[in-house]
Amino acid sequence: MTIDLSFALHKNNLPKDYRPTIVSYIKYTLSKYYPKIYHDLYGTGGTIQKSFTFSVALPKAKFQSDSMELGNSRFWVTFSSSNDFDTLLLYNAFRKDMQNPYPIANGNYMALQYLKIKPVPKITENTITIRFLSPLVVRKHYAGEADKYYIFEDDEFSNCLNIVTANRLGKDVKLDVEPISPKKTVVKSFGVNIRSSLGTYKVTSDPDVLNELLLSGMGSRRSEGFGHFEIVSR
């Protein structure tokens, strides 16, 4: 399922590194209304695999050195999860917090104005064409070593993406991602500059794998707002 959220800002600006703001709001609402679920997801001290991702629509954003000015006082977040229980809990937490001002950087605050929960039709095909709504991050991560990030044109991209996906799903997978109209970008998130991929791709795998990726995102750092995509054609 997905949840569409619309936020109003006191001032028409957000930090350029805005993903920590959204993650902080998710943590805030969970800790306020469902502290046990918050502890299960965030409070154990270790890294817990999340079942969700999100993307953010920023109207007419003009980027500055460390902030962005928006074309109006609203922005939109689409939250997506493969776990219906988590989705319903978050929906209820968001709903309970509607209209409440949430403080963010530079003396600004945001308030949730609207939300709607929607089912997502299942994928039955083995091949789909997708467009990324938030950048695809593919990270090679080993304890004690510096992280490496791969994009669509790197030789290590496909193998690393398959390893990331297999580790997450707990089984061997064959995931083929073929660029159609790819774009490369560098995104600053949580203070780290991350090489990542945008654009459209042809994706082939088992339908069960595709459905999981559609709902919870593809690649690494999904719960920080990466790897969310929509289907362009089937």
pLDDT tens sequence across 152-167: 999 999 999 999 999 9
Token pair for 19: 């993903």
- Would you say 61 and 15 are in contact if contact means Cβ atoms under 8 Å apart? no
Closest listed residue to residue 232, CA positions, set 206, 208, 203: 203
What class is the 127-233 domain? alpha beta
pLDDT tens sequence across 116-163: 999 999 999 999 999 999 999 999 987 778 899 999 999 999 999 999
3-state secondary structure (DSSP) of residue 129: strand
Closest listed residue to residue 161, CA positions, set 179, 188, 143: 179
What class is the 2-118 domain? alpha beta
Within the chain, all domains assigned CATH 3.30.70.1900 are found at 127-233
Q: What is the pTM of this model?
A: 0.93
- Would you say 4 and 115 are in contact if contact means Cβ atoms under 8 Å apart? yes
Within the chain, all domains assigned CATH 3.30.70.1890 are found at 2-118
Per the prediction, the chain carries an average pLDDT of: 94
